[in-house]
Each structure stands twice: as structure tokens, then as C-alpha cells.
Structure 1
Amino acid sequence: MSEDRIFRTAPEEKYYDNKSRASIFFRVLIQKFWKLIEFNLIYLVISIPAIIVSCFIGIYITNSLLPAVEADFFAFLFVYGFPPMVLLMAIPVIAFGPAQAGMAYILRCFSYERPTFYWSDFKDKMKENFKQSLVVSLINLAAFIFLLFDFYLYGQISQNTDNLLFYVANIFLFMILILFIMMAMYIYPMMVSYELKTKYLYKNAFLFSIGRFLPNLVVLFICFLLILAPVLIVVYVGNAMVLAIIYLYYMVLGFSLPGLVSSFFINPVIDKYLKPAPAQANSE
């Protein structure tokens, strides 16, 4: 970077970095590829409790959306249950809070190409945000289960009535769910970057979810493609070898790659509108 400034600008000129975020993303993806795999595996091991909970929720969601699918339990689990679990944790709607805090900080550093002491910084952010991240993960889990229960309740009622009000209520619930998922993308990056109370994390996340609704939809769509599109290949091909390759992909990049995509979009937005905490400003 210093060489660029010496040879491309005069001493009186201001330096501008013209690299697009897209070019930086692919450069980081190549340079940090093995680190992404490493932290994906670390996150996978630490987050086993959240994986179990999320997997059962993923099975329930898939079974609700595809009730006509006939398969034994293990086939249903690995083909239809596991991918939604990865999606829920990659966004992350469901997570083991401390592990997600550590991952969010590492991916933030990657997105800004900042030097980091990988494992020590990961552990430090887990410790610093342990209590708050646990509280957030429990709140998110409870809120998500509550929304699923509401969907189930209104779905059962709407089957027995032609009242338009229940269909409107379902649409309203769906919009709340989308906003809640968008909020989940912002909470942990804010947590590890700024000194905010939990209520302000949710307040700011809600404002970001509304104010950046369309860009957030794009991010969600990309994450959706990265995680669920491979499953469509398995369903279409029906080959066990393809399924094994896709599960290998989930194990090595299923959480870190969508997280990196989200981090590249989310962190600049957060930093644009939030003032850094004094401790962070002094350290940087």
C-alpha cells in the first residue's frame, strides 16, 4: 500500500483507494481461503449445541414447507434438515453466541484487510462478549421459535376458514420474519465493534433492516444460493457422491463463506452510521 502511495500520488495529493469492494472480496477469499476453512471447522466444533437445536428446527421448517416428501429419518435429516440448519446459523439467526462473536470479529478484520492474531483475537472476542452474546443468542432463539409457532397457529386456523384477515396476518408475520433475519446479520458485527447495550443492538439492527431493506435482501439471496443451491443439485442428481461433496463443502466453508459475504456488505454500513466507541477509536 505504501508503494502505491509513493509512485501514484504526488506529496501534496490525497490518496484514494479505488479498489472496489468486489475486487477486495475475491482477493481476501483467495488470500484467506485456508483461514476461512480453519475457522469454519473451529466454529463447527464450538457450536455443537446450537447445531443440534438448529438442525431440529431446520427439519421442522422443511417438513412444514415440503410435507409431501417421503424419506426415512436419516435421509430427511441429511438432505432436507442439515442445509436449513447451516443457513440459520450462517446468517446467523441461531448461534452459540460467543463463537459467533469471535467469528464476526475475524470476518470483520478480513473484510477490511486488517491484520489480526487469528486464534488469540477469536478467543478474546469470545471472552469480551461472552455474556452479551449468550443473551443475544437466547433472545434470537426464543423470538424465532415464537415466530414459527405463530406461523403454525395461523396456518392451522387459516385452513379452517376463508377469512381474509388470517391471510393478511400470515403475510405480516412473514415480513416480520424477514426483518428479524435481516436484524440478525447486524447484531454480532455491532457487538464486537461497538460498546452498545443489548437493547441498542436490537434497535440499531431494526433500523438497518428497514433502512437497507433491498440491499439486505440481496445479501440474504446470496447466502441462500451459497447454502441451499447445492442441495437442489443433490435433489436433481440423486447421487450419494455429490451429497458427500456438498457436505464436505458445508464442513469447510458452510459458515465462514456466507459470513464473509455478509461481513463485506454489513460492516461498511454499520461503520458509516455508528460512531466508534472511545476505546476502539484510541486503539485504532
Structure 2
Amino acid sequence: MAGFFGFFDYTKPGKGVKKEEYKPDFSTFVRIFTSRFWKILRLNMLFVVCSLPLIAVLIMFYPLDNEGNTDAVAQFMYYTACLLYLSVVGFSPVMAGFTYVLRNFARDRHSWGASDFFEHILKNIKQSLVLLVMDSIIFFTLWYLFSVYTRISGLEGADNILIATGIIGRTIILIISAVYFIMHFYIYQIIITFDMKLNQILKNSFIFTVIKLPRNIGVVLLMLVASSLAFGFISQIGLILSFFILPAAICFTVSFITAPVIEKYMMPQKTDNTEA
């Protein structure tokens, strides 16, 4: 079936699986996720432990006012941003191994779990470290510019031009941030699959972000729904779920939905062979 926002509309079989056994539709998603749930859970805990350096940095941005307090809305937005960043952008070297295992699970292929996780961290360490530096610079710059435009529009006595400048500036920054964030749906999968230069990986990821925009927006909406359910009522429950399952569930979903896109456009020979 086509599914929500065009999800699950590819009918290619996976590698090593009989054609009639693998169709990436919703029923296959549920079957794979439930059958490998405990492996996904263990992988998530390993991922969180290995991502502690990034988590420590994210904690530094916890929203506090001058009295050391934070309101509920700011706290929810912070937890949501951290969850999505950790699950999609993440600590780049760790994300390579994380994505490899979950991509294999999502395509209903075998993975050795922890051993594959660490193997592909090491295998892709050079590109991942370069990407880590790039991500850090880009997102910090975007965050800084957003705060500058926020202050501009909030200046005491600001006229309409300043207010409009602040609004337009923040809108542009949000669009750039969203595009670069969505590019990571594809960046890690291309890194672990192809021997390509990083600039080529970024170029292809940007193209997929644009040509599959409705699908990508749908993925983001699913993430926001998951975050709302996790943190919308009791934030401590969301934190517990984040340690045990949420990042892996999000990355698994992204892999399930986007891996067929990469195979269709970047591995046409494989697609033709499997459909023959």
C-alpha cells in the first residue's frame, strides 16, 4: 500500500530474501520491529552509552531562566530537539555503526548486532569524524544566528524593519536547519553503503531531501508525534524511553522508509536484478 505521505510504497525484495517475503509496507514494518524488538532495545542502550559525549554537550543547553527555572513548554521543546538530534544527527562515529545495524534490521537482513556496530564505527571513522566537525560547526552557527535574529526582533523600541528582519532571518535559519537535519536521513546510509567522497554524499543527500520532500516531512511528523507522546505528559517517562528504545525506534523507522529510496536511485542494477 502507498501509506501515509507515500511511505512504504516500494515493492523491491531485500537481499537474501525471497521476493514474495519482503515488501516494505506497514505490515512488514510491524513484523520486523516486533520480532527484533529486544535486539533493537539492547542496541539502543549501547548507542546511548556510546553517545554520552554528545549527551553531555546537549545538557549544557538545558533552558534555564535567570532564577534557574524552566517552563514546561521550553522543557518539552528542549527534550524534543535533543531526542531528534541524538537519533538522526547524533554522534557521527557512533551513528555509522548504529545506522548499519538498524538498516540491516529494517531491510530484514541479518546483523551480528554489537560486533557489526563497532566494526562499522571503525570502518567509517575518518568520514564520520569529518562529518562530526562539520555538523558541530554548522549547527552551532545556525543556533548562534537564530539567537541573534531573536534578539534583533526583541530589541526595546525596535521598529517594523528590525522586527521583520528578525522574523525573516529566523525563518531562513529554521528552513536551512530543517533541510540539513533531513539530509542526515540519507547521509549515514550512503556512508555505510558506498565508497564516496563526503561532498558527493552530501550532494546526494540534499537531492533526496528535495525530491522526496513530502515523504521526509512525513517522517519528521512521525518523530514529533513520538516525542509528544513520550515527553508531553511526564518528562521522566520520555527520558526512560529514550534510554531504552526511542532513538533506535526513530532510526529504524528512518532506515525502513529511506533505504528503498537509496536502493532505487543509487543501486538500479540491484533493483533490476531483484525484480527480474
TM-score scaled to structure 1, two decimals?
0.78
Give distance in 2, aligned partners of 1:100 and 1:259: 9
Give distance in 2, aligned partners of 1:23 and 1:170: 40
CA 1:18–1:262 in 2, change beyond 3 Å: closer, same or farther?
closer
Aligned pair count?
A: 248
Q: Is 1:152–2:147 an aligned residue pair?
A: yes
Which of 141, 156, 159 is matched with 1:161 structurally?
159
Report the RMSD for the aligned CA atoms in angstroms: 2.9
CA 1:250–1:166 in 2, change beyond 3 Å: closer, same or farther?
closer
Give distance in 1, aligned partners of 2:171 and 2:218: 20
Query: Is there any run of 5+ residues in structure 1 with no aligned partner, and where?
Result: 1-13, 235-242
Equivalent residue number for residue 257 of structure 2: 265
Any conservation in 1 of the 2:24–2:256 contact (CA below 8 Å)? no
Q: Is 1:24–2:21 an aligned residue pair?
A: no
Equivalent residue number for residue 85 of structure 1: 82
Any conservation in 2 of the 1:91–1:223 contact (CA below 8 Å)? no
Q: Secondary structure at the match of 1:91?
A: helix
Query: Is there any run of 5+ residues in structure 2 with no aligned partner, and where?
Result: 1-17
**Segment drifting more, 100-109 vs 150-159:** 150-159
1:96-136 Cα shifts (integer Å, max 9, x gaps): 22211001000110111011222221111111101111111
CA 1:156–1:80 in 2, change beyond 3 Å: closer, same or farther?
closer
Q: Is 1:118–2:113 an aligned residue pair?
A: yes
Same amino acid, percent of matched pairs:
25
Q: Secondary structure at the match of 1:255?
A: helix
Q: How does 1:94-243 map to 2 (within 5 A)?
A: 95-159=90-154, 160-163=158-161, 164-234=164-234, 243=235
Q: CA deviation at 1:31?
A: 0.7
1:210-249 Cα shifts (integer Å, max 9, x gaps): 1111111110111122123321112xxxxxxxx4443321
Give distance in 2, aligned partners of 1:91 and 1:47: 12
Q: CA deviation at 1:78?
A: 7.7
**Of the two, which has the highest radius of gyration?**
1
Equivalent residue number for residue 245 of structure 2: 253
Give distance in 1, aligned partners of 2:48 and 2:169: 37
AA matched with 1:161: D
Give distance in 2, aligned partners of 1:208 and 1:100: 19
- In the TM superposition, structure 1's runs of 4+ consecutive aligned residues that sit over 6 Å from their partners are 75-80
Give distance in 1, aligned partners of 2:265 and 2:181: 20
Give distance in 2, aligned partners of 1:116 and 1:97: 20
AA matched with 2:194: Y
Give distance in 1, aligned partners of 2:241 and 2:22: 33
AA matched with 1:35: K
Q: CA deviation at 1:161?
A: 3.3
Q: Secondary structure at the match of 1:113?
A: coil
TM-score scaled to structure 2, two decimals?
0.80
